[in-house]
Amino acid sequence: MKEWIIETSGLSKRYKGRYAVSNLNLKIGRGEIFGFLGPNGAGKTTTIRMLLGLIQPSGGNIQIFGQPLRRNRLQILRRVGSLVEYPSYYGHLSATDNLEAIRRIIDAPKNRISEVLDIVGLSKEAKRPVKGFSLGMKQRLGIASALLGSPELLVLDEPTNGLDPAGILEIRELIKAMPREHGITVLISSHLLSEVEQMANTVGIIRQGEMVFQDSMASLREQAHGSMALRVSDSMKAMRVLAQSGIPSQHEGALLTIGQTDDEYVARAVRELVASGHAVYRVEERRKSLEELFLRIVGEGRGL
């Protein structure tokens, strides 16, 4: 049986009668990189705050490392590193002192500070007061803070916010290496599928507080498979011909689309059409990108 690192059941949070998160059943297994996706205001940060015990759920349960969060919060947090929303820091202190302020609480070894600064590429700036840092540098410091306690579970809320393309790539490589090298489980939230696509092996998509998709990345890719568009002389009649030979299709104006793209299937459709006297002008493959699929999942139920 799979070991769940994070498991929530019926998790909900209500603000003034409105649900920011409702009935969330999150399941994240050991060593997974879980991409937590959703548009602005979907409830990602609210969920993450609940997972860290920062806010009380209005309903439901949270189990982390198989222990109830409500009862074993401190034991659990000892094994978790987190970055919530925009980075927190003490502006008047240097990067080293910022990490030291955390280290004094979590009891990490002292040399871990230079290690994590090195990991996020801040070693050269370590002595400067953080208030003079750029947004991307503060973000890196936030990631360094999350790594400081050598956690088994990393919870990162939009960690690449404010980073330049090179920085995004760097952080992505860093996160990708986590499960491989240290057996760390990662929960990472984002607005963009493309951002987590290359590292996540599981995705959860949340919309208006509700989970609308939760499955492996591979299965999401499968759903994004393409379709064939055929331009024919008389699309209405052609559709009927195809239907008779067991090939379902839709027509949009002069175009006819069929849902499968494998060669044999397409060849059979064309054969049937030509045999019954239709002219086939064009056969095109249409790929639905993952991003389009994502936008469709997220967009459903919009604009009431």
Partner 1 sequence: MMLKAMHSDWLKLKGKGLWFLVCLGPVGLIAMQALNFGLRYDYLKKSYAADLWGGLLNNIAVFVPIALLMGITILCSLLANIEHHTSSWKQLLALPISRTAVFFSKFAVAAIMLGVSCIVLALGSIALGLGLGFGWALPLADIAKLGFYPFIAALPLLALLLWMCLTLRNQAVPITLGVVLAVLSMFAIAEWLPLTWPLLAYKAQKQEIFLAAGALGGLVVLLAGMVHFARRDVD
Ligand X SMILES: Nc1ncnc2c1ncn2[C@@H]1O[C@H](COP(=O)(O)OP(=O)(O)OP(=O)(O)O)[C@@H](O)[C@H]1O
Parallel, antiparallel, or unpaired for β 33-37 and 202-207?
parallel
Q: Which of residues 28-67 bind partner 1 (CB under 8 A)?
A: 49, 52-56
C-beta closer to partner 1: residue 78 or 286: 78
- What 3-state class would DSSP assign to 267? helix
**Which tokens belong to 68?**
């109830």
Based on the shown chain and the rule CB under 5 A, indicate whether residue 45 belongs to the binding site for Mg ion: yes
Count CB neighbours of 197 within 10 A.
18
- What 3-state class would DSSP assign to 276? coil
CA-nearest of 1, 72, 11 to 36 is: 11
> Which runs of E-coded beta strand occur in 18-143?
18-24, 27-29, 33-37, 59-64, 67-68, 80-83
Based on the shown chain and the rule CB under 6 A, indicate whether residue 54 belongs to the binding site for ligand X: no
Q: Which of residues 14-43 bind ligand X (CB under 6 A)?
A: 15, 20, 38, 40-43
Residue 142 contacts residue 159 (beta carbons within 8 Å): yes
Window of 60-68, 89-97, 226-234, 259-267 that interacts with partner 1 by CB under 8 A: 89-97
Window of 44-52, 142-150, 229-237, 261-269 that interacts with ligand X by CB under 6 A: 44-52
Task: Give the total of residues touching partner 1 (CB under 8 A).
Answer: 31
**Which tokens belong to 36?**
């937590």
C-beta closer to partner 1: residue 101 or 279: 101
Q: Which of residues 242-301 bind partner 1 (CB under 8 A)?
A: none
Residue 66 contacts residue 4 (beta carbons within 8 Å): yes
Q: Which of 18, 70, 92, 286 binds partner 1 (CB under 8 A)?
A: 92
Q: State the binding partner of 208 from partner 1, Mg ion, ligand X, none, CB within 5 to 8 A by kind.
A: none
As measured in angstroms, the least distance from the Cβ of 45 to Mg ion is 3
Residues near Mg ion (CB under 5 A) are 44-45
Residues near ligand X (CB under 6 A) are 15, 20, 38, 40-46, 191
